[in-house]
Amino acid sequence: MNKTNPENAIKELTMVLMYLTRFNESDRFGSKLDISWKGYDFDVIDEEDYIRQGNHRSKSVAITEAGIKLLQSLLNKYNILDWK
């Protein structure tokens, strides 16, 4: 098994924690969003297409479909069960 460098592991595992602690919320348009709290160090998270931060005052972020796919592959990489 190939080892992951510490910087990538911190980034990936922070994203995994966001995914595992997510909850669902319907927005005003009726679509279901996977939401996570913003209590994580956002300096280590690559926000490009995996999470969306609507209002900067909001205490949560939305996990995009691309983020869900990435995070499910990271669960597999780290041999973690998805319990939701």
pLDDT in tens, 22-76: 888 766 545 677 888 778 776 666 566 788 776 667 778 888 888 899 999 999 9
Cα distance between residue 4 and residue 36, in whole Å: 25
pLDDT of residue 72: 92
pLDDT of residue 60: 80
Higher pLDDT, 83 or 78: 78
Report helix angle 65-77 to 6-20, nearest 10.
120
Long-range contacts of 22-27 (CB under 8 A, 24+ apart): 22/63, 22/84
Give the list of residues 6+ apart from residue 32 with CB closer than 8 angstroms, or none: 24, 25, 26
pLDDT of residue 26: 67
Cα distance between residue 51 and residue 36, in whole Å: 9
pLDDT of residue 1: 64
pLDDT of residue 30: 57
